[in-house]
Structure 1
Amino acid sequence: MRTVEIVSGARHEDILDSVRAYHREFPDKPFVPGSTPILASGAVLNEDDRVAMVSAALDMRIAAGTIARKFERQFARSLGIRKAHLTNSGSSANLLALSALTSPMLEERRLQPGDEVITVAAGFPTTVNPILQNGLVPVFVDVDLATGNTTADRIAAAIGPRTRAIMVAHALGNPFPAAEVRELADEHELFVVEDNCDALGSTYRGRLTGTFGDLSTVSFYPAHHITMGEGGCVMTDNVVLARIVESLRDWGRDCWCEPGEDDRCHLRFKQSMGTLPAGYDHKYIFSHVGYNLKTTDVQAALGLSQLQRLPEFTATRKHNWRRLYAGLEGTEGLELPEATEGSDPSWFGFPMTVAQDAPFTRRELISFLDGRRIGTRLLFAGNLTRHPAYLEREYRVSGDLTNSDIVTERTFWVGVYPGISDEMVDYVVESIREFVKGAVR
């Protein structure tokens, strides 16, 4: 048996050496302006990433197991948070985080159907959908155009007698005023769900985003700061909330054994719950109406490899944003973004708003950039209340949504992700300036 293990291990390493050699057969191609696509976002994968995935596949790590648990521990440690639970997407992470607040385990603090959750109108649907999916009522607030974020004052004005929670995303990596929102929530005994999917590595007042909420979420979709292909994570320092998230993710079961374990609590056949027979198998007792939202070890292996590169990716995103800003500053007809005061964003993108009196439209500029193979994106859904999916849903609006409408009509963004080189950034700047110069004449 020992001989077989040695031979098997040697063969494993031989295969991985071949994978490295295979990866090197595909060197990066030189940038050709107007021909090479400049994507708005994307994954940056290297030799180590490919090897990590193949190694997990060779070991037949086809479900969530030891590698997923290792990622959860390392990721939680990287943020200084007590618990992290890996899931199959950032959207699922948001669903789990908000759903956790409706758990009977929270007793009188649990959110009940009809309770209100404050959020922003200008954003991505998966920050809002879990509110509706749990029978709760979104309360929409507006944003500032310069930062893309709402403010503590807007949130304070939105608080009503049925308000129980705040669920807000950091816009394109730019932090909302998380410390002030946290203080406001504590004052009014509200939960905070911090959607950190676009802001991994950002800081506010010197503290990492994703550490201010009762629960926070991250996405590992290829567009985001690190990737697993698909994947997400829910983080919390609250062990009760962590236990609820784990239960909801894993079918709603009450048992917390790892896959393959049978009796971690030593009470498998010694408990009485619900109206089940005394001593019913704890592995098949369900305390929540849950889901199966787990991921796999192959994805987690990629995540572990990518996590080592997060500081490098963060630095490149900041560099590309600064280079774009320096190149576009003063461009007529464009309103450029601002970092939230006291923040250091790990930017997801570089947003711009076409001025109301500009001699060109957003559509004309985007069409020009598309012709040069420069990718653009709108600021996600813009004003969500204007979309077909939400027209007949129950919600409340606090104040007006003037800036959310401007975002819908005049804002877009270009990429800053680490796959974009200085040469690409300069070409984007040159192209925008050329278009504006022609339009202004």
Structure 2
Amino acid sequence: MTQLLAADPERDAIVAAARAYFESRPKPAFVPGETYIPPSGKVMDGNDCASLVDASLDMWLTAGRYAEQFERELAERCGRRYSKLTVSGSAANLLAFATLTSWKRGPKAIKPGDEVITVAAGFPTTITPIVQYGCVPVFVDVDIETHNVDVDLIEAAITGKTRAVMIAHSLGNPFDVVRVREICRKYDLLLVEDCCDAFGATANGQLVGTFGDIATLSFYPAHHITMGEGGAVLVDSPLLAKVCESFRDWGRDCYCAPGKDNSCNKRFGWRLGDLPKGYDHKYTYSHIGYNMKVSDMQAALGVSQLTKLDHFIARRRENFVELEKRLRAAGLDRYYHLPQATPGTDPSWFGYLMTVRDGAGFARNDVTRALEERKVGTRLLFAGNIIRQPAFRDVAYRVHGGLTNTDKLMEDAFWVGVWPGIDAARMDYMVETLADITQALIAGRDPLALVRPAA
């Protein structure tokens, strides 16, 4: 429940008015062929608006009471001891990896030149922290149906320089994290789980984000819940939690909450580095850090959205099942690889990835251009094969084996939405439109010439 301040009738009236205003806004009707169906989006209600306004009335513009509440409730929901809020999922990945490089970890700290096993098919900011800290990403291939890491390739990619595995659960479908964790334990490797697309997914009944040494989440509007912009790092280790907070909060050694002083009861009793004894601990810096803190208004939205997480996850799973049923009934599985859940997992689907089969007789780009023209939103599997991106032209990396399936996904895969804002009417239109476009391409007709009558 949202934390409440002392009774204040005027404040309560403002918050209630904000809730009522949001709920009273008209909801546009869906018109097939005219209303755009985005592949992802946020679902908001009056309680979200009320929480946002309530936080704004505090005029406490940095992290405050809502941030404290959200970190506590998020950690409990995720099955971790600590959560540390930050400005985005990408920032969470950067902070997670930075945490593992801290000198406070002693000889276990990741150092420049160390290797980190990952995949090239996915979002760039799962990989860029590896590069930004001077380490070498080692890429292994994925499989087509789950679009996740081929775990059979990991062990052979390990060398004496390998220190960690950092991989995302792709589009809400967990990779085989049980096997990956076993490999990491066998070779004493760190495991970083990027759960930004997979909030609430499980493997063997256990939440993703609880297998690794450290994990991340994103609260961008496209994700399962939103703070607008936001993310979180999840850990159990008190040391890692404190180090993560240091990197997030300018690199400072002090761990006082905003607006608080002397939590350690020896603010002027420390002696660190070459500083004089008693140098103010609030201005002692133990890491080369950042400022990646959130505002309390963002956190207030997160508190409200978290109460709806289970419903959002259930709707995504229902939409995935219904979309697959419709696609198979239309015979489209003959032309597209349809996504499959990794065995032993229960995904929390972010998107529905389809890959044009070899020999289908048409190209992915022809499909996506026509879908977009007819108001069905599509996305690619993010960076595709990231080593082909211009940003990686001069990056040091290593590829173990080939990236055949990664290239296949880059060339032929796209995804459409399963987010809670997609209802039966939208889904029917999506499938009918894809079927029309596919049949036109097979027949050699221009799918852009198709015009569906308005409903």
* TM band (smaller chain): over 0.9
Alignment of 1:6-405 (within 5 A): 9-329=8-328, 330-331=331-332, 332-405=334-407
Residue 20 of structure 1 deviates from its aligned partner by 2.3
Post-superposition Cα deviations, 1:101-160, rounded to whole Å, max 9, x if no partner, equal 110011010111100001101111100000000000000111001001013221112111
SS in 2 for 1:75: helix
SS in 2 for 1:138: strand
Residue 383 of structure 1 deviates from its aligned partner by 0.2
SS in 2 for 1:24: helix
TM-score (norm 1): 0.97
The one-letter code of the counterpart of 1:86 is L
- Find the partner of 1:433 among 432, 435, 443: 435
Residue 437 of structure 1 deviates from its aligned partner by 2.3
SS in 2 for 1:235: strand
Distance in 1 between the 2:339 and 2:318 partners?
15
Residue 438 of structure 1 deviates from its aligned partner by 2.6
- Find the partner of 1:411 among 401, 410, 413: 413
Tell whether the 8 Å contact from 1:382 to 1:407 is kept in structure 2 after alignment: yes
Residue 24 of structure 1 deviates from its aligned partner by 2.9
Residue 187 of structure 1 deviates from its aligned partner by 0.8
- The alignment's C-alpha RMSD in Å is 1.2
Residue 440 of structure 1 deviates from its aligned partner by 2.7
Residue 192 of structure 1 deviates from its aligned partner by 0.6
Structure 2: segments with no counterpart, 5+ residues: 444-455
SS in 1 for 2:170: coil
- Where do 4+ consecutive residues of structure 1 move more than 4 Å? none
Tell whether the 8 Å contact from 2:23 to 2:45 is kept in structure 1 after alignment: no
Post-superposition Cα deviations, 1:165-198, rounded to whole Å, max 9, x if no partner, equal 0000000000001111111101111101100000
Distance in 1 between the 2:54 and 2:163 partners?
46
Distance in 2 between the 1:53 and 1:154 partners?
46
Q: How many residues align?
A: 436
Distance in 2 between the 1:286 and 1:130 partners?
21
Post-superposition Cα deviations, 1:328-385, rounded to whole Å, max 9, x if no partner, equal 1241311111000011101000000011211221111112211210000001010000
Tell me which moved more, 259-268 or 21-30. Answer: 21-30
Tell whether the 8 Å contact from 1:79 to 1:208 is kept in structure 2 after alignment: yes
SS in 1 for 2:172: coil
SS in 2 for 1:246: helix
Distance in 2 between the 1:122 and 1:412 partners?
12
Tell me which moved more, 87-96 or 11-20. Answer: 11-20
Tell whether the 8 Å contact from 1:150 to 1:176 is kept in structure 2 after alignment: yes
SS in 2 for 1:352: strand
Distance in 1 between the 2:392 and 2:442 partners?
38
Tell whether the 8 Å contact from 1:152 to 1:184 is kept in structure 2 after alignment: no
